[in-house]
Each structure stands twice: as C-alpha cells, then as structure tokens.
Amino acid sequence: MIRGLYTSAIGMKTQFEKMDILTNNLANVDTTGYKKDIVVSRSFPEELTKRIQDRKNGFSNNRNIGRMSLGLYNDQVYTNYTQGTLKQTDDPLNVAIQGKAFFAVGMEDGREVYTRDGSFALDANGMLMTKEGNMVLGQNGPIRIGQGDVRIDESGNIYVNDELIDQLRIVEFENPETLSKLGDNLLERTEETTEKNIESRIVQGFLEGSNVNVIREMVDMITATRIYEANQKAIQTHDETLGKAVNDVGRV
C-alpha cells in the first residue's frame, strides 16, 4: 500500500517536470530559431522483493514475493534540432541557416557560443549584434559593417557596397545533442562536442521559425495533465484506505 503511494507520487513528479518542458516549448513557439526540448522517460529497474524476518515454526521463512518497480522517471531532456520553417523578411541583416550549422556569437567574457537566431542588427558603432546585444563573429572576430548596402551570400561572405569585408563564422557539429542550452536562445559546447565540415548554406532576408508544433505540444500537455490527475486520485484512494486501516480496523 505504501509502495503505491510512492509510485503515484513519483508519477506526479515526472508529469510535473514534463509540463515545465512543454510549457517552455509553447512559450517559445514564436522565438526565432528555437529548438524544442523533449523529455525522455525511463522506468525504474525492477527489484526482486523478499519477505524477511518472517518466522514459521521457529524457523526463518524468507521467501520471494515478486518483482516490483516504482514506475517512471524523467531520465534526460533531449533537444530536437530539426530545421524550422524559413520566413521571408527582406531585411538584409536577417539571415537563416539551411542545414544544421550554428552562428558563432561572442560573449562579453570572451566565450564563443552558438545560436540559430539570425535576426541581427547594427549598434551605434556599426557592429553586427544579436538581439540580446552579443557580438556576431566572423572569421576575423567581431564584424564591423558600418554604412552601405549589405549583401550576404550562401557561404556567409559579407559584402558592403560590393566590397568583401568578412565572412560569418558558422559552425557545424558532429553531435549537436551534446550542446548545452544557456538561455537567450544560446548554446555552449561541452567536452564531448566535436566539429565537422560545414554542409549548410546561408539564406539572406529570411529567418528560421521555431520547430515547435503547437498542436502536438497541446496534446502532450493534455496527456500529461490526465496522467497527473490519475496519480493524484490514486494517492487519495491510498490515503483513504490507510485512514480506514488505522481508525476502523485498529478500533476492532
């Protein structure tokens, strides 16, 4: 009976954590280049249970009862890096990546991080920046564009008034699932992350939408809510049964 309480409580906790991920996905459905997270659940290992300290006729009567599991738990959060839909904006500083590469971005502390959000802009000094104010990196470091007509070809070469000034630094990874999310639509490589040859191309005047499917996320959210409620009712039933065992059976 107590085992049922633990199993139901773990089930509620699992669905609560899943709801957090689904809610975050829905909140970023209009975020440029956002990649949705998926919760991967796994069942607890089954354990062989024994009846111990059970004496019969003066002898220990330890015997197997059977196998049991405490249900499901969230094993990991997996990021889905499938391509989002490209939306035309005709803004020359908006660029999207057709493929699996990432734009390189420089942080104030000197770190190089990565994003799929190509909605860039110029600051007061003509430097190419992200929406959050981080520097967009080229092959020669931060990119200064200044004034003029901007053209970016599919290789990331940046031309201002038909003069080549730099090339966008884009990076493609052999194992993007090892990247770590930092917030603000940025990712950071880990020790396991390895680069590979670039097979992607740049598209100017477009932005990549998120790869979140609203209908699918809503269906998953409804399913998680119903499983949560079912576990909640199971706990209430166990609690009522325990109450009867303590108050009624104990009185007899």
Q: What is the pLDDT of residues 99-124, one digit of tens each?
A: 999 999 999 888 999 999 999 999 99
Of 140, 99, 104, 136, nearest in space to 121 by CA: 136
Query: Does 60 have pLDDT greater than 80?
Result: no
Average pLDDT of the chain, as a whole number: 85
Share of the chain above pLDDT 90, in %: 60
Measured CA distances, 239 to 147, 172, 247 (Å) = 71, 54, 12
Distance, CA of 181 to CA of 97 (rounded, Å): 19
Q: Would you kindly state where each structural domain of the chain is located, as residue ranges?
A: 2-80+213-249, 86-208
- For residue 238, the model assigns a pLDDT of 73
